[in-house]
Amino acid sequence: MIQLATPDYIKTLQDNMHKLAEGVLRPISRKYDEAEHEYPKELDMFRGIKVMARPKKKKEGESASNDEKKPKRGANLGMVVTIEEMCWGDAALLLSFPNAGLGNAAILAVANDEQLERFGNKWAAMAITEPGAGSDSGAITTTATRDGDYWVLNGEKIFVTCADRSEVVVVWATVDKKAGKAGIKSFVVEKGTPGFTLEHLEHKLGIRASDTGTFVLSDCRIPYNNILGDPEVKMSTEGFKGVMKTFDNTRPLVASMATGIARAAVEFTKEQYEQKGYVFDYKKNLSNVSAAERELYLMEANVEAMRLLTWRAAWMADNGQFNNLEASMAKAKAGRYGTLITQRCCELLGPVGYSTHYLAEKWMRDSKIMDIFEGTGQIQHLIIARNVLEMSSKELK
């Protein structure tokens, strides 16, 4: 039988993270939205805390115990629960947490033990997008050429999250343009490396507390062993698929971000209506309530759907199940409806939704990026269609 009640350990985690978001993030949300590019010093209290951890590997020949065969309460599910609550507080501040960059997730997933020792405790950004390669990661033109014991990188990377604050950057580049996607690898580039320049920081519509920038690589030389994964170019896309699997873990995280923002907007809107005398009765038929009440009920239902899709994708990742379809479903649903919900809340709130005295207009601005980064909504629908129809990227473009 399906159990839809929230488990006690999840409820405890939610409560603890909500108190943190309410006590630390929400009070400084507006401050750092207006002070764009200024580092939130209040987050220094979290430095040194291990945000991400690599799951333990079984030794060669070691079989799984009975406990290991049971469904797991893993790191991914705990992370999406945490992120939803933190983004209820402020999504941009969450993105500014030390040592919690997208590059950190890539290093944990792919790095060998020696690389993990060198880079595991450093704040890592992820540089994928280029002026001519956005949603199509396979169109990357940044090059990495081997020169003895070094790689020489050349290219430009745009819209890099934590560009200024990170200590290292995971850069996607091609080692063989003729090999197409099979030639794309990821490299760790340390800040201060000659030829690696932070060109500028972006001024953005939303998530302003998170710094976003452009890097230029000009004959940037890095040690040969800074490549993540197998350096050999195999004439298949298996290596690229391995790199892309990072998104199967990070897309549910973005979905949980959208869920947290949308929930904040719906809860605030309901509070405002309750102050005006509205009484929300869930036993009523939707045909017998006001238009505003009906919309709020439907928005709450969509927030719950966003959450359940996200939890499903995260649970599958924790239990070693292929979740490419579910990760994209969660990202597509949450990214799109997060935008629609926050916009509609601002409309229902009237002047309160438009005023910077409240956070509703900020949530509307912040939510838009959730439908764009980590793969646009359109790309997610394409991935979903390929999975459902069992078609390859060449067959369905």
In our burial notation (b when 16+ CB lie closer than 10 A, e otherwise), range 78-90 reads bbbbbbbbbbbbb
| pLDDT score recorded for residue 134 | 76
Active site residues per annotation:
374
Whole-number percent of the chain with pLDDT over 70: 90
* Distance from C-alpha of 117 to C-alpha of 242, rounded to nearest angstrom: 22
Which pLDDT tens digit goes with each residue over 15-32?
999 999 999 999 999 999
Which pLDDT tens digit goes with each residue over 30-89?
999 999 999 999 999 988 766 565 555 545 555 555 555 566 667 889 999 999 999 999
* pLDDT (average), residues 342-363: 98
Ranking 89-93, 155-159, 168-172, 227-231 by mean pLDDT, the lowest is 227-231
Phi, psi of 213 (to 5 degrees): -145, 180
CB neighbours (10 Å) of residue 154?
A: 16
| pLDDT score recorded for residue 231 | 87
In our burial notation (b when 16+ CB lie closer than 10 A, e otherwise), range 209-246 reads bbbbbbbbbeebbbeeebbbbeeebeeebebbeebbbb
Rg (CA), the chain: 22
Residue 237 has pLDDT above 70, yes or no: no
How far is CA 202 from each of CA 140, 212, 237, 297, 373, rounded to the nearest angstrom? 21, 6, 33, 37, 15
Average predicted confidence (pLDDT) for the chain: 90
* pLDDT (average), residues 183-203: 97
Between 233 and 79, residue with greater pLDDT: 79
Residue 238 has pLDDT above 70, yes or no: no
Q: Residue 208: pLDDT band by 50, 70, 90 thresholds? A: very high
Ramachandran quadrant class, 232 (left: phi over 0; alpha: psi -120 to 50; beta: rest): beta
Judging by beta carbons within 10 Å of its beta carbon (0-12, 13-18, 19+), is residue 73 exposed, middle or buried? middle
- Give all domains of the chain, ordered by start, each with its CATH number: 123-228 (2.40.110.10), 238-389 (1.20.140.10)
* pLDDT (average), residues 171-198: 94
Which pLDDT tens digit goes with each residue over 120-168?
899 999 999 999 887 777 789 999 999 999 999 999 999 999 999 999 9
| pLDDT score recorded for residue 1 | 41
CB 324 within 8 A of CB 248: yes
- CA-nearest of 224, 244, 112, 106 to 168 is 106
Phi, psi of 91 (to 5 degrees): -70, -40
